[in-house]
Amino acid sequence: MSQTLPKLSHPLVDDAQYNLVRSVGYLTAAERRDIIDACEFGDIAHIKDKRKSGEPYITHPIAVAEILAGFRLDRDTVIAAILHDTVEDTEVSDEQIEQRYGKVVARLVDGVTKLKSSTHNKQENKAATFHKILTATLADPRVLIIKLADRLHNMSTLDAVRPEKQRTTAQETLDFYVPFARLMGLNDIADYIEVLCYRNLDSEMYNKISDKLLQHGLGRNFQREAIHGYLTIVLNNLGLGGGHVKVLDNRVVIYRQFFRNRGEINALLRHYAFEIVLDNIEACDKLAYYLIKKYQIDDRHIEDNIRRPLPGGNQSLTLIYERDNDFVKVTILTKQMQNAARLGVIGAEHASDVSQSVIQASLRNMKDLVDEDCLNAGNPDFAAAVSTINELMDYLHSSKIICYSPQGRAYELPQGATALDFAYAVGPMIGNVAVGANIDNKPAKLGTVVKNGQLVEIEVNSHSEPKAEWLGFVVTNKAREEILRWFKDLSAADKQHHGMQALDRALKTYQKSLDDLTDSDWKNLTEWRGLTEKEALFEQISSGTLLPQLVVTRLFSDEVSDIQSQERIDDMTQPQQLIVNASGVELDFANCCHPIYGDPIVGHLSRHGLVVHRHKCFSLDEIRKDNPYQVIQLRWRNDKAIKQSDSEDHGNKIRFPAYLRLSVALSDEQISKVIYHLRQLNIGVEKVDVRSSDTIIHIVVRSRNHLAQGIRELRSLLGFPNIMRLYQL
């Protein structure tokens, strides 16, 4: 390196600067001089600061900048990384940074600067910081990758902090930053961070899989070379010699599957991943067709994300096949797709049109969550930030699908969304006048659940209006809010009219009408709702407080169990009382999927009452297809008292049956240990069925979280076998 570097405050800082300058050789000489100046400026600003390890603090931000230089990011991003803690931790101001390095650098630094207030608790401060990062990222995605590089370096150097802090930081990163990064298409950096999260979350489990990877390292290398050689021969034989086969490091997938209890160690070690870069989409299709035919790959193991990109915009064609007892995952893509995938939303200008459309769909959904006024510099609203981040967490951790309009525009929806949710995603001007849908050119009802990659066309009628019963099956908050907004603007008389019409339509499900209701029926309904007249009942229906489908279920169930929601958790004795929007109707839990408190749930309206199912229950598929209005969204109560009870024992009050399959046949001694440890967690054991190669355990638990706690305990106790929840026996 020809340029002479200034001597900084410590030899470790000199080394950090030297390594960074070597990494930014792709920048111009003037840009490199600015980066050297930023190192010196940051060194002076942080001169009194030390890391927990005792090293000069400035070595951390310079290391963050070096990580970003590995992505060949621009001068502003690299300088912002060097200075990202100066405003937060030193006397340096935004104005100084702007004057010295420009507005963009100052804006990026501000985006990653934490919000702190002594008058607010830790949760509120953290939520406000997350909200600020989210808002800044939507304005300039480089904010996120600076924060991710910051997390990556911090996660790799957590040894100097106490174990509890390590776990807290790792969980926060896994809950917020990793899914956020993946949604933005930043999968490369997310992979590295995710592995470090597992290392800091549970060192025993991490070391278990790491040791296995080392033990099988030579064998895995041999297999990788053999598969690599085979795929290269296939390319040459197909006339695709210009393609390049790359062995992928799939350790993050192995760690993820193991930590999430989704596979046996020995089975996971037989999974291999490869990336094949070809010249064009036609070449990708040619190779995929050959492999599909040769290995008889079924549709479940084929993902065509070239035509239908993943959330985040990543495009590829992925195949999984079995070869000599090994599972091989082949990702086929073009050079353009590979370049776009490296930086996701940051490199969106290099992506294809369809990929950019998917990226924009994700950005639109996140912008809908953000209240940009809640964090104004003068008086930030910390409570609003907490609410926004709670919604964002739900969004980040929900399974997502992408559907397309006839014009090819992508819309991102949660799994389980309906055609009506799609209509409102397009906009309220479409949703409010929707009358039907065509899904993949086939007529469908508005309540039909849409699937990933489908083409959805909404039929509209300018004279049509929203219907109150829609509130029973829409999934997205946007759809629900738009429907409620429309009804809110109506006069009292119009609300009563729409509520009456909605109830009449619901009655037709039972071949009845409003005229068939007796004075006794009306008295039953008004007393149930604490009302004096039926017009008020109609207003409740049109305001979304009461679903017309539930009114009908109450009227025509064989037997109505009038269990009202109680204020105190101590008064609750039946699982039915935990469902917030179905009080006063006969309710039962389905035996086909055995839902428990905390599972995402829906209700099937039958002549025998309301039957609660898990939202993915296969038995609902035909019902949704033929009578989507009979499946309504349900919600569990989320009272603080109930959440508190999740960590306490309430005797034999509210419990749910659950079934576990352990991938090992337990010995008598192990069974005794299992029963003892589960009872220590207040999990009842009703039956243990040991079979030739596995064990089925029948248990009773309070909630989904309680069940997860039990599974974690058993995996640690038994050497981390795979433990699967069975939804039916």
Determine the Cα–Cα distance for residues 386 and 125; give it in Å rounded to an integer: 9
Q: How far is CA 684 from the centre of its chain?
A: 31
Closest to 324 in 3D by CA, of 301, 351, 295:
295
Determine the Cα–Cα distance for residues 20 and 701; give it in Å rounded to an integer: 53
Closest to 253 in 3D by CA, of 181, 312, 329, 341:
329
Q: Which of 55, 74, 88, 304 is catalytic?
A: 88
3-class DSSP state for residue 601? strand
3-class DSSP state for residue 689? strand
- Name residue 602's beta-bridge partners: 613, 633
∠ CA 577-610-636, nearest 5°, is 35
Supply the DSSP symbol for 173.
I
Q: How far apart are the first and last CA of the chain?
A: 68
Give the H or E element holding residue 633: strand 631-633
Known catalytic membership, residue 89: yes
Tokens of 685: 């054991």
Determine the Cα–Cα distance for residues 673 and 719; give it in Å rounded to an integer: 13
Supply the DSSP symbol for 177.
I
3-class DSSP state for residue 87? helix
Tokens of 277: 């870069």
Q: Please, which residues have CB within 8 angstroms of residue 680's CB and are 6 or more apart in sequence?
A: none
Tokens of 204: 């025993």
Closest to 285 in 3D by CA, of 334, 338, 358, 351:
334
The dihedral of CA 586, 592, 594, 600: what is its sign? negative
Contact 58, 16 (CB under 8 A): yes
∠ CA 648-649-651, nearest 5°, is 155
Known catalytic membership, residue 34: no
CA atoms within 13 A on the CB side of 50: 6
Contact 469, 461 (CB under 8 A): no
Closest to 357 in 3D by CA, of 403, 399, 394:
403
Contact 456, 437 (CB under 8 A): yes
Supply the DSSP symbol for 71.
T
- Name residue 330's beta-bridge partners: 274, 319
Q: How many residues does the chain have?
A: 729
Determine the Cα–Cα distance for residues 120 and 118; give it in Å rounded to an integer: 6
Placement of tokens 């079979």 in the chain? 691
Q: Per residue in 613-627, is it b (16+ CB within 10 Å) or e — as a string?
A: bbbebeebeebbeee
Q: Which of 31, 37, 55, 89 is catalytic?
A: 89
- Residues that are catalytic: 88-89
